[in-house]
Amino acid sequence: MSDTILLDHGEGGAATARLVRDVFVRHLGSPPQLEDASVVDGGARVALTTDSFVVKPLQFPGGNIGKLAIAGTVNDLAMVGSQPRYLTAGFVLEEGLPIELLDRIVASMAACASEAGVRIVAGDTKVVGRGEADQLFINTSGLGIMPVGRYLSSASCQPGDAILVSGPIGDHGSAVLVAREGFGIQGDLQSDCQPLTDLVEALLVAAPGVRCMRDPTRGGLATTLTELAAASGVGMRLTETAIPIRRPVRAACELLGLDPLYVACEGRLIAVVPSDQADVALHALRGHRRGAQAARIGQVVVERGVVLHTVTGGNRPLVALEGAQLPRIC
Amino acid sequence: MSDTILLDHGEGGAATARLVRDVFVRHLGSPPQLEDASVVDGGARVALTTDSFVVKPLQFPGGNIGKLAIAGTVNDLAMVGSQPRYLTAGFVLEEGLPIELLDRIVASMAACASEAGVRIVAGDTKVVGRGEADQLFINTSGLGIMPVGRYLSSASCQPGDAILVSGPIGDHGSAVLVAREGFGIQGDLQSDCQPLTDLVEALLVAAPGVRCMRDPTRGGLATTLTELAAASGVGMRLTETAIPIRRPVRAACELLGLDPLYVACEGRLIAVVPSDQADVALHALRGHRRGAQAARIGQVVVERGVVLHTVTGGNRPLVALEGAQLPRIC
C-alpha cells in the first residue's frame, strides 16, 4: 500500500477497501455488517448528536484529533443524560496525508472509544486533492440511550441552584493554541480531552436531581453559562476565586491576552444542581478520577445576566463570546 | 451580517449563533431543544449511517451538495430496510464562502428532507481559513427505524434470484464531471439525485421477500454488484442490453472514456429479489414515479464472479473499481 493517501483511496473501489481494511477495521473492528447502514439495538428514547473536528495541529499535548473526535461526541451525548452507545465516523482526507499518521489517529479513536464504552458502527472516507483540505477532518455523530425517567434540560435552572464545574478550565484551548503557534511558551500545558461517560453516571447516581449539564467547549465556561442562563430565563453569580484554573494555563493566557473563562475545555462538565444536592454532587465528582478538582463556582439567581464577582471585589458581567478568539481548537 | 463566512462564524459565540439562526434554523427549523444532543423517539432496532460530501462543483444540473447530502444518507438508511427519521448535519466551511450560496444549499437540504420525511435534529458548524478547505464540506449522519421482522442482508442473495435496477445508471457521476470540467460537452446530463424512501416502501410492500438493496453510488453498478456477490458467496450474470442507460449519459461516457457501469448514481437502487417475486417487484418499481424505468438486468448464479453478457455476444467479467475514475463526485 502507498505510504500516503491517494485520490484512489476515496473512490469506493479496491483501494478504498484496502484502506478500510488495513487502517479502519484493523483498529476499530469490523462493522456489524457490510451494508449502507448499521442496524443496532435502540431504545424508546435516544439522543443524537454530531460534531466535525478540524483541530490544528492534528496532534497536541494530551491528545490528537482522533481522541478528541471520540471524546467530544461522547461528551455531547452524556451531557443530555444519555448513555453513549454508538458512533459513526466520517473522514475527509487530503491527498498526500501520511498513512502512518492516519493510522496513529485511528488507533487513538479506538482506544478512546473503548475507554468510553462506545462502538463505531458506521464510517465513511472521502479524499480531496492537495490543497483542498488541511490534512484531515473528522465528523463523529453518535447515539445514546436515554434511561427511562431521565429528563435534563438547559431550560430548567432555578434560582438557588448551585453551579459546579468538574475540574480546571481552559486546558484544551490553551494547549492547542500553544502547540500550533509556539510563541516560545514553555510549561506544562496539556489538553483535558477525555470521555466523561463514567463521571456523568457517578454524578447522576449521587444527585439524580441535576437540572442540566454542559461541556464548556467552544466559547468556554463563560459562553456556556450565558447560554444556560438565557435558556432558563435566570441569572448566575460566579465567584472568580472559586473557579479552578491551572497555573500554566493562567500564565499562558496572560501572555497571550486570552481570558481563560472563554477558552475551551474538552474533558470538563458544568452541572447545575438543586442546592440541597450540591454537596453530594460535588462529593461524587471529587470522588472520581476525572473530577478530582471539581468545584462549586456560583449559583443561579433571579436577576438576569451572568456576573462574575472578581478577585478584586468588583462585578464583571460575562457575555457570549463574539468573535474568533481561538480558531480551529476542535 | 457579513456576506461571506468569517472565522468568527465558527467560534461558538454570538457570530455562530447569528449564522445558525439566520441560515440553518431559518431553513431547517429549530432543533428540538438547545442541548448538546437531541433526544428523539427511538425503536427497538435502529439503523445508523454516516456520509461526508465533498462534491465539486457545489452545484450541478439536478442538484447541489445540500440535496445530495440529504438524499445520500436517506438512501443509505432506506437500503437496509429502515424508515429514515432523523439526520444530523455537520458543516466545514471555508472562510470567504458567500453566505448567499450557503443559504441556497441549506434551503435545498430543507426541501429534500421534507420530501424524504426526515428531520434534521442536530447540527454543527466549523470554519477553517482560506485555502484550508474547498468552500464547503457536509457530513450527514442518520437514524432509521427498523420495522419489526424486517431483515435484509447483502449476504442473503441466492442462485436464481433476480437482479433489478430502479432506473437508468450513470447520470449523477457524468453530470457532475461535465459540470466540473466542461469538456465542451452539450446535452441533457442531469443528476438522478433523489431520496428513495417512498420507492423502497412501495417495493417492500409489494415484494416482502426482497433479499437486499443497495444504491450504486461510488464505484457504480458494477462495483456494488461485485460486493453483493462476494458477500453472499455467489455469482451474477448480467445482460448488457437490459441495463438502462440514458442516451446523453452513454454519449458523454464514450467521449470521456468512462464505463457507465462504474459511474455513480445517487437516486437509483439495486434490489435482489427471489425469482417468484421478481415480476411483482418490477411492477411496483415501475408504478412509482421514482422507478418508472426500472429493469430486470440479470440473475444470481452459483458460479462465482460477476459476468456481463455483452451486446456483441461476449462475456465480460466485472471487477471492483480499482482507482480514481471520478474524484469528488459525492
Q: CB contacts < 8 Å between A and B, how many?
A: 295
Considering only CB atoms, which chain A residues are within 8 Å of B212?
35
Proportion of chain B in helix, strand, coil states, percent, rounded to 5: 35, 25, 40
User: Which A positions 247-306 lie with beta carbon below 8 A of chain B?
Assistant: none
Nearest to B324 among A8, A143, A322 (CB): A8
**ipTM for the predicted complex:** 0.90
Kindly provide the b/e burial profile for residues B316-330, where b requires at least 16 CB atoms within 10 angstroms of the residue's own CB. eebebbeebbbbbbb
What is the per-residue DSSP string for B155-219?
A: GG--TT-EEEESS-SSHHHHHHHHHHH-TT--S---------HHHHHHHHHH-TT--EEE---TT
Q: Is A24 helix (H, G, I), strand (E, B) or coil?
A: helix
Q: What is the dihedral of CA A225, A229, A231, A233, to 10 degrees?
A: 180
To which H or E segment does residue A264 belong? none
CB contact under 8 Å between B37 and A77, yes or no, is yes
Query: Could you tell me the three cell numbers for A319?
Result: 457575555
DSSP B289-327: TTSTT-EEEEEEESSSEEEEE-TTS-EEEE----S-SST
CB contact (8 A) between residue A36 and residue B122: no
**Searching chain A, which residue's CA lies closest to the CA of residue B215?**
A36
Task: Give the closest-approach CA distance of B45 to chain A in angstroms.
Answer: 5
What amino acid occupies position B214?
R
Q: Cα-flanking dihedrals φ and ψ of residue A218, to 5°?
A: -55, 135
Alpha helices, DSSP H, located in A157-297 = 171-181, 197-206, 220-232, 247-256, 278-286
- Residuewise pLDDT in 10s, chain A (330 residues): 678 888 778 766 777 778 878 887 788 776 544 566 777 778 889 999 999 999 999 999 999 999 999 999 999 999 999 999 999 999 999 999 998 899 999 999 999 999 999 999 888 888 899 999 999 999 999 999 999 888 899 999 999 999 999 999 999 999 999 999 887 777 789 999 999 999 999 999 999 999 999 999 988 999 999 999 999 999 999 999 999 999 999 999 998 889 999 999 999 999 999 999 999 999 999 999 999 999 999 999 999 999 999 999 999 999 987 665 678 889
In contact, A161 and A211? CB cutoff 8 Å: yes
How many residues belong to chain B? 330
Of A7, A17, A49, the CB nearest to B88: A49
Q: Is A13 on the interface with B (CB under 8 A)?
A: yes
Interface residue B39 vs chain A (CB under 8 A) = yes
The model's pTM is 0.92
Q: Please report residues of B whose CB lies closer than 8 A to that of A54.
A: 92, 126, 128, 132-133
Q: Indicate the residue of B49, B53, B323 with minimum beta-carbon distance to A122.
A: B49
Q: How far is A143 from chain B (nearest CA, A)?
A: 9
A147 burial (CB, 10 Å; 0-12 / 13-18 / 19+) is middle
Chain A nearest C-alpha distance from B37 (Å): 5
List chain A residues with CB under 8 Å of B328. 10, 126, 128-129
Chain A interface disruption, residue of B4, B11, B40, most A CBs within 10 A: B11
Secondary structure class of B246 (helix, strand, coil): coil
